[in-house]
């Protein structure tokens, strides 16, 4: 889904979920705070002019062009695509969102600003719920753990034919696996971390043509460092859009 490109470009999805807060500023503990807002913002239906999706973030200015409301909700609430439910139009209608936040606004505040903006302009009514879904549980296997305790860093990449993690928590690894497998992965390891570890690749997987094979072999790779993925059924939090106006209002 093109949301992956959005998140990679704007780096807005590497932070913990905003499930504990709502656009009204109410926290899960019941405390109320003023909802943060953009200095200025415009949300309009995208014209049918042949433009493709585009996004940018610079100096507090955020731009999304040709993006469905479902993708904006994924960004605002830090969710995956399978965690959004609602009427068909939130997935099919595209919008242009242009907004200006104060310089150096923390990213978690940007998420809350987007929540508040969407609630206001689309008159959105949403609620959180839980659905029973197919999931994977990430657990510690019966073999020796090949994980090295490390300072928090949270990076992961390809290094000379290896998938190499630096300072990654098991929670973050579960999130990465969720993206790769397109299925919720729950951290059930009980390991505190963070850790440094390396996942080996075969010669075939190390080349560009081996990308699919590398993904399929992740189960074996995890076993080599003492972890495993087990298919289960489990509850997954979802955001349900109960209603709203497909035509956003302006200020």
Least confident of 23-27, 42-46, 91-95, 222-226: 23-27
Q: Is the pLDDT of residue 158 over 70?
A: no
Closest by CA to 125, choosing from 90, 98, 95, is 90
**DSSP-assigned letters across all residues of 145-186:** P--EE--S--EEEEETTEEEEEEE-HHHHHHHHHHHHTS-EE
Q: Is the pLDDT of residue 185 over 90?
A: yes
Clarify whether residues 82 and 166 are in a common domain: no
Q: Give SS3 for 39.
A: coil
In this prediction, residue 153 carries a pLDDT of: 65
Long-range contacts of 64-70 (CB under 8 A, 24+ apart): 64/6, 64/95, 64/96, 64/97, 64/98, 65/96, 66/94, 66/95, 66/96, 67/6, 67/94, 67/95, 67/96, 67/97, 68/92, 68/93, 68/94, 68/95, 69/93, 69/95, 69/118, 69/122, 69/241, 69/244
Clarify whether residues 214 and 187 are in a common domain: yes
Domain count, the chain: 2
Q: Is the pLDDT of residue 187 over 80?
A: yes
What gap in Å lies between CA 168 and CA 67, rounded to an integer?
A: 31
* pLDDT band at 75; cut points 50, 70, 90: very high
In this prediction, residue 127 carries a pLDDT of: 97
Whether residue 240 is contained in a domain is answered as: no
- Tell me the mean pLDDT in the region 73-98: 95
Clarify whether residues 62 and 112 are in a common domain: yes
Whether residue 166 is contained in a domain is answered as: yes
Q: Is the pLDDT of residue 39 over 60?
A: yes
Clarify whether residues 27 and 63 are in a common domain: yes
Least confident of 4-18, 46-60, 237-251: 4-18
Whether residue 228 is contained in a domain is answered as: yes
Clarify whether residues 67 and 20 are in a common domain: yes
Polymer length in residues for the chain? 251
Clarify whether residues 14 and 113 are in a common domain: yes
Clarify whether residues 11 and 70 are in a common domain: yes
Q: Is the pLDDT of residue 58 over 70?
A: yes
Whether residue 60 is contained in a domain is answered as: yes
Q: Residue 50: left (phi > 0), alpha (psi -120 to 50), or beta?
A: left
Question: What does the CA dihedral 21, 26, 27, 31 come to, rounded to 10 degrees?
Answer: 160
Clarify whether residues 70 and 175 are in a common domain: no
Clarify whether residues 84 and 141 are in a common domain: no
Predicted TM-score (pTM) above 0.85 = no
* pLDDT band at 63; cut points 50, 70, 90: very high
Q: Is the pLDDT of residue 205 over 50?
A: no
Whether residue 246 is contained in a domain is answered as: no
In this prediction, residue 175 carries a pLDDT of: 87
Q: Which residue range(s) make up the domain with 181?
A: 132-235
In this prediction, residue 19 carries a pLDDT of: 43
Clarify whether residues 63 and 9 are in a common domain: yes
Whether residue 249 is contained in a domain is answered as: no
Clarify whether residues 173 and 114 are in a common domain: no
In this prediction, residue 1 carries a pLDDT of: 45
Does 135 or 208 have the greater pLDDT score?
135
In this prediction, residue 54 carries a pLDDT of: 87
* pLDDT per position as a tens digit, 97-154: 999 999 889 988 999 999 999 999 999 999 999 999 999 999 998 888 889 888 776 6
Least confident of 18-27, 131-140, 178-187: 18-27
Does 27 or 193 have the greater pLDDT score?
193
């Amino acid at each position: 889904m093109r949301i992956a490109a959005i998140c990679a470009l704007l780096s807005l999805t590497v932070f913990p979920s905003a499930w504990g807060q709502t656009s009204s500023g109410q926290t899960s503990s019941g405390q109320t705070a003023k909802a943060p807002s953009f200095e200025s913002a415009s949300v309009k239906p995208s014209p049918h002019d042949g433009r493709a999706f585009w996004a940018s973030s610079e100096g507090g200015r955020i731009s999304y062009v040709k993006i469905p409301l479902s993708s904006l909700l994924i960004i605002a609430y830090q969710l995956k695509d399978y965690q959004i439910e609602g009427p068909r139009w939130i997935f099919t209608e595209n919008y242009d969102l242009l907004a200006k936040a104060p310089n150096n606004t923390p990213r978690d505040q940007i998420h809350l600003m987007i929540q508040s903006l969407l609630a206001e302009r689309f008159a959105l009514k949403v609620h959180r719920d839980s659905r029973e879904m197919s999931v994977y549980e990430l657990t510690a296997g019966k073999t020796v753990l090949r994980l090295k305790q490390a300072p928090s860093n949270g990076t992961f990449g390809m290094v000379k034919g290896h998938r190499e993690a630096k300072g990654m928590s098991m929670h973050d690894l579960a999130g990465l696996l969720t993206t790769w497998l397109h299925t919720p992965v729950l951290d059930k390891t009980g390991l505190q971390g963070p850790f440094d570890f390396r996942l080996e690749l075969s010669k075939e997987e190390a080349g560009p043509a081996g990308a699919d094979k590398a993904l399929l072999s992740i189960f074996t790779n995890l076993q080599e460092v003492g972890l495993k993925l087990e298919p289960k059924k489990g509850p997954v939090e979802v955001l349900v859009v109960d209603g709203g106006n497909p035509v956003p209002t302006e200020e």
